[in-house]
Structure 1
């Protein structure tokens, strides 16, 4: 079976599981006051140009330090945002429904599940004593910052890289997962990484930092934009592009569904994932960080990794917390 024919089969059977709109990199700005986007979508293909320098004005890994012990579930301190969530009766988690292993809809149960979803469920358990007291709100990857900032969700866990630009609009938790950008190519390709893709068409989602990184690659690949990474996968399977490049976590989900694809090379970026929250409730950020600290210490993080990502090898040491 050719890769193109295989692609048609995968698209027909796997589109529900893996549209992969929830990529970690998102260079889209918040909407302007008038509600319009302040940038336009990149063209479908372009030769690499000079990309804007990354914002290094902060340590994006450093979050707000917890204060005191965690309150008992069901007894959130009066006047806190946690008490407001408790009164409502559910935590609202913003995430995607199509990032395999992290937040994808189970075709048999209809439920959205994965590593990121379990991060949210652990926060719900800390508030209520019940991880099921959670409402999952599916959001577009380009709405992750705005959804956290405007309070339309309580927290976003969606393979989202914490960076200084985003810290201007939202608070991030401490880092809960270390990802990095790699490359996916056909199984018969001799390419070992981005350095071998000069002049080749490499796909990423429009407005993503992954797309920006392709454009900055010294080997000068041709950056190809698609609306979402699911569209990149279709383009790859139909031989319209030579490779896809984004976070290794997302590429692993793609390779798991396409036996004619493989992930190659070492990580050439750092993509530290954090959960995003409104800046209006710093006590909630501190609370979330206390939950993450507890789960690192008692093995909950490791068990969550084994459940969703254990097929890729032994669980690493959880990312160490850094505080401001």
Structure 2
């Protein structure tokens, strides 16, 4: 049995994936028992539309007076909620003890745009079910504990009710990870089986909603807990975004991804609802990264892509103004 590598068991991301286990495969099939997403109360909601950047980005350290960015720069650090258990996305490098991964690098680009340095970030590690709550103000202090959350979070209308999202920086989709010995070919073959996902995620909600081939959902705090339970034989599969599953599979070669995507999971960076100036700023950073190719380069570096399977980062969508 290969042990879970905790917050990540390798010092560097894998090279290009030539095994066909690419995260961004465009193959997608919806099992008959996967419920359609419930419509939002507000039928005008278009979840992928965010706030358009306003003009060129200001020079680092010279933010507009009175802006959210100016307050962050005056404080001297960006406070960010991140994961430390998602290998390749946000994990603690065992060789350095530092947080590393694709989403950590995105935060460093935002820090550089604010301060001129990638290292002005105070990381607060959080679990999946705390991603929204850490952005809500404390009733006593009226302050929240973080400025921003980047943690493999799906953009949807329900979450827009409590946070504001950046544009979509990465498209993922729910798939399934099983032991190599498993004969299952897709989620449809796991009816009655124990399938693990992190609490507070769209993944666990999808598992709970399966009707035709219902599974036994098992909710845990962190994704590495799912992998450990599967290694111990206490669950039969893990199901979440394929981008996260690639990291879990990299930690245990005795596992395999099966089936096509059966949901769409556009990823966004979450911020305070009332700090739309900061959302525009972050969208400006993402837009610059799209244009100079650095967003694509980061995705290739961390998620492993070859020329035949790579799907570039999605184009932005903005609210009409």
Category of TM-score, reference length = shorter chain? 0.7 to 0.9
Between the two proteins, the alignment pairs up a number of residues equal to 285
TM-score (norm 1): 0.82
* CA apart distance, 1:236: 0.9
Is residue 130 of structure 1 aligned with residue 124 of structure 2?
Answer: no
* CA apart distance, 1:73: 1.4
Is residue 247 of structure 1 aligned with residue 231 of structure 2?
Answer: no
Secondary structure in 1 aligned to 2:3? helix
Secondary structure in 2 aligned to 1:10? coil
* CA apart distance, 1:172: 0.4
Aligned residue in 1 for 2:191 = 198
* CA apart distance, 1:51: 8.1
Q: CA RMSD in A?
A: 2.1
More helix by share: 1
Aligned residue in 1 for 2:141 = none
Alignment of 1:1-324 (within 5 A): 6=1, 9-11=2-4, 14-17=5-8, 54-56=38-40, 57=42, 58-150=45-137, 151-217=144-210, 218-310=212-304, 315-324=310-319
The answer to whether the 8 Å contact 1:149/1:279 transfers is no
The answer to whether the 8 Å contact 2:127/2:221 transfers is no
Instruction: Write the distance in 2 (CA, Å) between the matches of 1:281 and 1:66.
Output: 13
Instruction: Give unmatched runs, 5+ long, in structure 2.
Output: 10-32, 138-143
The answer to whether the 8 Å contact 2:128/2:198 transfers is no
Stretch of structure 1 that moved more, 239-248 or 269-278: 239-248
Instruction: Write the distance in 2 (CA, Å) between the matches of 1:167 and 1:73.
Output: 29
Instruction: Write the distance in 2 (CA, Å) between the matches of 1:87 and 1:173.
Output: 23
* CA apart distance, 1:152: 1.4
The answer to whether the 8 Å contact 1:149/1:277 transfers is no
Instruction: Give unmatched runs, 5+ long, in structure 1.
Output: 1-5, 19-48
* CA apart distance, 1:227: 3.4
* CA apart distance, 1:53: 5.5
